[in-house]
Amino acid sequence: MLIIYSGDETLVKLCIDLFGKQYETRRLSAIQELINQEITSKDILIIDLEFCEEKDLPQIICPTLILVTVPVIKQAMRLLRHGVRAYGNRHMHEENLRQAVFALTAGQIWLPPAIVNHMITALPANKNEKKEPALLKALSSREAEVAKWLVNGLSNREISEKMFISIRTVKAHLTSIFKKTGCRDRLDLATRMK
């Protein structure tokens, strides 16, 4: 079930239009209704913080997407520690909203690229930087190059510009990298490499 808490009719309609065929959807009119809901770990919860405060959030027991007006790294980190698995702009593109919900159903974390890049660059550097991480040995030279740019915090677009390849090719390399290394996402890869 997809449970939506928002007072924004446009956002609620968008969620129902995007996910209504895959999920039974339920809209809540008050955040307190979450306490009385029978929520399971298989449900997906979308909460619009425009209509409640962070302190009012219930205990997170299912994959949850929090939407805000302006995503901020400190808030993202607080919410991740609270159990939230996805966080983004309440006016994000439909495709990004779809990606965020599908990431939740796959057990992954979804954050705006700028926040992911900030988190990657904030990771401490490998103490022995001259030694190539073991993860790279299974990769082709181009995949290894993509992985190294990713660890430096570059977005797909920036990697494509540096390597003179299309964004689609960058995504194909990343899919192959994740498959070969067993990493779930960009942050997982960057953490293991650093």
Residue 173: predicted pLDDT: 94
Residue 47: predicted pLDDT: 94
- pLDDT tens series, the chain, 194 aa: 999 999 999 999 999 999 988 889 989 888 777 776 777 788 899 999 999 888 888 788 889 999 999 999 999 999 999 899 999 999 999 999 999 999 999 888 999 988 988 887 777 765 555 445 677 888 999 999 999 998 888 889 999 999 999 999 999 999 999 999 988 888 888 888 87
Domains along the chain with CATH numbers: 2-111 (3.40.50.2300), 119-193 (1.10.10.10)
Going from the C-alpha of 182 to that of each of 71, 79, 135, 140, 194, the distances in angstroms are 29, 26, 9, 15, 16
DSSP codes of every residue in 40-59: -TT-EEEEETTSS-GGG---
Query: What SS3 state is found at 25?
Result: strand
Going from the C-alpha of 54 to that of each of 43, 57, 103, the distances in angstroms are 20, 6, 22
φ/ψ region of 164 (left if φ > 0, alpha if ψ in -120 to 50, else beta) reads left
Q: How many other C-beta atoms lie within 10 A of the C-beta of residue 124?
A: 6
Residue 132: predicted pLDDT: 52
What's the pTM?
Answer: 0.69
